[in-house]
Amino acid sequence: MTMIRNPILKGFNPDPSILRVGDDYYIATSTFEWYPGVQIHHSKDLANWQVLGYALDRESQLDLKGIEASGGVWAPCLSYDENARLFYLIYTIMRSTTGNFFDLDNYVVTANSVTGPWSERSYLNSSGFDPSLFHDDDGRKWLLNLEWDNRLGYEHPGSIVIQEYDPESRELLGKPVSIFRGATGMGCLEAPHIYKRNGYYYMMAAEGGTGFGHGVTVARSKSLFGPYEPDPCNPIITSAKEINLNRRGVDDYLKPYQYNPDSVLQKSGHGSLVETQDGVPYIAHLTARPLASNQRSMLGRETAIQACEWTKDGWLRLASGGQRAELTVQPAALTLTPWKKEPVREHFDSGEWNAHLNSLRVPLNESWVSLTARPGYMRLRGRDSLFSLHEQSLIARRLQSVHAVTETCVEFEPDNFHETAGLTLFYDQNMFYYLRIYYSESLNSKCLGILYADNGVKVELRESRMPVAGWDKVYMRAVIEGEELRFYGSPDGEEWTQIGPVLDASKCSDEYSKYGHFTGAFVGVCCQDSYRKRKYADFDYFEYRETGTE
């Protein structure tokens, strides 16, 4: 028997919303400030997954310019109306969390096919995040979300509220009603989903914060509006060191004291339920795999899955027993359907965008990135610096292993110090490493050098600059081995020279961020021009390959 090995979606794929339509399984995950929005994954067997595409691919659906890091798209919910044969996607755009106010908007888009095209968005509300849509068996539809309470003297974060949704007018009806304040004392209630089974409405939620204290909780009621009876064994899934620590009302989400050295999977929570064609339940949930050396999660929050079973008295339990999220999971009784292995090198010669490549805050368009301006190359026109929240010319993909090599070849001739291009390991605008080509006036030469941001502080490694005036092409490579990052340069792709010292890649993580951010590391290429935003760089290829297993 081939076991399912977690995580099923590696590297920055948090907040899974899982759905089965016929014999196909889909998972939608959060994309935060990255474009396109809401990554959708496809499987036939719950073990093998491929990136199918994205739901939000234009500014009319997703406006992110200026959004703070770790803002943007939070916790999408993917659902399906079998009668109308229509897919629904509910999502949040988190615009600001300053002052504990959580300025956000919730929207809905629909599509006849999960691959799109998805409709223009319709506004729902702004009272809180993690919205989901419940389709009751009487045909009525109900929007759930965490109603964020920013008032002093009131318990944070708030409660789960429900309001009817009219699919014809695409608007909410009546007024929201508070129906649930959590099934435990773990606090940080979020991520509500309702499922109906044998006359019960089951409320599945996340509690404990999206850090090391995270968990999946369940409660049930004979009435949609409650009251909801908590499962006596909550949380039903967790990786926390101590179960059911009473932290209600505490806003600390990371909870490093809940790190469990006995578990490879950490931060397990934010669950979503699916049943196979035979009625066997599985829960997809968020998880993370921090480095054992320093408990930093370079790969961000990922997606795992757990096999479950229903007890005789109607509660969900892990099929493996206990509450701990497991690394290997009993497979479903489905035909294994592996996908074709993807090439490690993108040559930019197909004329189509690789589904793994993303931009930051702004959609891909010919005004700044082109696959046609020079066939066989990706041309990037320089714009803002990597510190910007607006218009960066950055194309990157998720880091999905802490043992990886990424490489590119670029043609770029800077005329002044304003113009740079190169290769980056990027967490957010406050934390990144950048091997860049630029013009050095002091050396009177085109150079390779390292610039990085360390929790918002800019650092230039001037002592390790290398003149490359005679190089028509510059080959660049980043090698990641655990927490160690090394940059290399080459004139021909054969003989490589290390540029600069060994760097601490693990700083590109939630745990190192002093800003309370929670995304994941990307590797990519970029171009800047802070003089006139005209200079461009031509990238011949972009390669990402994993060199080990976790």
Interval 164-193 mean pLDDT: 96
Range of the domain at 523: 345-546
Name which of 528, 532, 510, 531 is nearest 519 in CA terms.
Answer: 510
Same domain, 392 and 469: yes
Last residue of a domain, one of 301, 329, 357: 329
Q: How many domains does the chain have?
A: 2
- Does residue 334 fall inside a structural domain? no
pLDDT at 166 over 80: yes
How many residues in total does the chain contain?
A: 550
CA distances, 525 to each of 14, 146, 279, 382, 426 (Å):
24, 37, 45, 11, 10
Same domain, 300 and 419: no
Interval 397-419 mean pLDDT: 97
Same domain, 188 and 224: yes
pLDDT digits (tens, 9 = 90+) for 323-372: 999 999 999 999 999 999 999 999 999 999 999 999 999 999 999 999 99
Calculate what percentage of the chain has a pLDDT beyond 70: 99
Same domain, 439 and 484: yes
Same domain, 321 and 359: no
Per-residue pLDDT, 1: 72
pLDDT digits (tens, 9 = 90+) for 511-544: 999 999 999 999 999 999 999 999 999 999 999 9
A 10 A CB-CB count for 213 gives 32
User: 466 near 489, Cβ under 8 Å?
Assistant: yes
pLDDT at 397 over 80: yes
- Does residue 40 fall inside a structural domain? yes
Name which of 477, 480, 482, 429 is nearest 457 in CA terms.
Answer: 429
Last residue of a domain, one of 288, 304, 329: 329
CATH number of domain containing 409: 2.60.120.200
pLDDT at 248 over 90: no
Same domain, 413 and 494: yes
Same domain, 207 and 108: yes
**Under 8 Å CB-to-CB from 355, ≥6 apart: which residues?**
51, 52, 53, 54
Distance CA 303, CA 286 (A): 5
Per-residue pLDDT, 252: 78
User: 287 near 21, Cβ under 8 Å?
Assistant: no
pLDDT digits (tens, 9 = 90+) for 434-465: 999 999 999 999 999 999 999 999 999 999 99
Same domain, 150 and 201: yes
User: 409 near 475, Cβ under 8 Å?
Assistant: yes
Question: Residue with structure tokens 């390790």?
Answer: 464
What dihedral angle (degrees, nearest 10) is formed by the CA atoms of 184, 185, 191, 194?
20
- Does residue 340 fall inside a structural domain? no
- Give the DSSP letter string of 377-394: SEEEE-BB-TT-SS-BEE
Angle (CA) 439-441-446 rounded to 5° is 30
Same domain, 323 and 358: no
Per-residue pLDDT, 94: 98
Last residue of a domain, one of 329, 356, 390: 329
Per-residue pLDDT, 232: 96
Calculate what percentage of the chain has a pLDDT beyond 90: 94
Give yes or no: 190 in active site. Answer: no
- Name the pairing type of β-strands 484-490 and 281-288: unpaired
Same domain, 207 and 318: yes
Q: What pTM did the predictor assign? A: 0.97
pLDDT at 85 over 70: yes
CATH number of domain containing 122: 2.115.10.20
State whether residue 171 is helix, strand or coil. Answer: strand
**Under 8 Å CB-to-CB from 363, ≥6 apart: which residues?**
35, 36, 57, 58, 59, 62
DSSP tag of 67: P
- Does residue 336 fall inside a structural domain? no
What confidence tier does 272 reach under pLDDT thresholds 50, 70, 90? very high
A 10 A CB-CB count for 292 gives 9
Name which of 134, 176, 81, 156 is nearest 272 in CA terms.
Answer: 134
Per-residue pLDDT, 550: 60
Average pLDDT, the chain: 96
Same domain, 320 and 469: no
State whether residue 98 is helix, strand or coil. Answer: helix
Distance CA 428, CA 2 (A): 38
Interval 22-27 mean pLDDT: 98
* Residue 503: strand pairing partners: 485
Question: Residue with structure tokens 């990307």?
Answer: 522
Interval 169-198 mean pLDDT: 96
Q: Which residue in 164, 229, 275, 391 is the catalytic one? A: 391
Backbone phi, psi, residue 187, to 5°: 80, 180
- Does residue 25 fall inside a structural domain? yes
Same domain, 360 and 222: no
